[in-house]
Amino acid sequence: MKGQEWYQADSVAEEYDAKRFSRGGRLIDRREKEAVLDAVAPVEDKRVLEIACGTGRFTAMLAERGADIVGLDISDAMLSQGREKARRAGVSNRIEFMRGDAARLPFPDDHFDIVFAMRFFHLADTPAKFLAEMARVSKRRVFFDTFNGASLRVLYNWALPMGSRLYSGSEVERLVTDAGLHLANQTHDFLLPYGFYRKVPNAVADPFRNADTKLGATPLGNVLASVSYWTAEV
């Protein structure tokens, strides 16, 4: 995985949410949570696995909606933040946080109803292996997002501390097929990359987001979107 040392640092975990989801980043957080819910809800009494759960912002959200969920991550520091978030939300009894390797998931075949990963595949050095493992342990649905090569994200990708893997639509479709999955839905969003929104206050981010959404609804938006959400069925 790219940037493992950077990602696992205690200081990164402690500042992760504040740096990425404050200011204009709040709308990113809202949109990503909406995308997850659109893809996996309803989750009440479903067994769910989140890979690369980080600080648990999706894990806790789904537990609040009745999921029995496992959050897996490679970083002990991130998992500590997730446990604290779950405790504050009062859902610790519905979540198990585990440290583990996404390339070798410690679960039997068809163990979960839903398996998903957000903000993960841009770090993946072996995406085919990761997606195959997600498919193996899911008996119903797999959901993930990617960052796209034909987008403005390429302009600042070089500046990220761990780099970032960018995908084309055809590459993702091939990965899905090779993992034995059927692509059920795809949604493309954010012509302006995340980095822009995180740098500006909400008052500035909101009108740009409105324009972004309107342009994104056109055929050009699907071509130039910086992020895509992929829903696949087993």
Contact between 152 and 226 (Cβ < 8 Å): yes
pLDDT digits (tens, 9 = 90+) for 84-132: 999 999 999 999 999 999 999 999 999 999 999 999 999 888 999 999 9
How many domains does one find in the chain?
A: 1
User: Does the predicted model carry a pTM greater than 0.85?
Assistant: yes
Name the residue range of residue 217's domain.
4-233
- How many Cβ atoms sit within 10 Å of the Cβ of residue 22? 13
- How many Cβ atoms sit within 10 Å of the Cβ of residue 4? 13
Q: Is 219 exposed, middle or buried (0-12, 13-18, 19+ CB in 10 A)?
A: exposed
Q: Is 229 exposed, middle or buried (0-12, 13-18, 19+ CB in 10 A)?
A: buried
Q: Is the pLDDT assigned to residue 222 strictly greater than 90? A: no
Residue type, 163: G
> Which residues are CB-neighbours of 39 under 8 A, at least 6 positions away?
116, 141, 143, 185, 229, 231
pLDDT digits (tens, 9 = 90+) for 43-75: 999 999 999 999 999 999 999 999 999 999 999
Q: CA dihedral in degrees (98, 146, 228, 114; nearest 10)?
A: -30
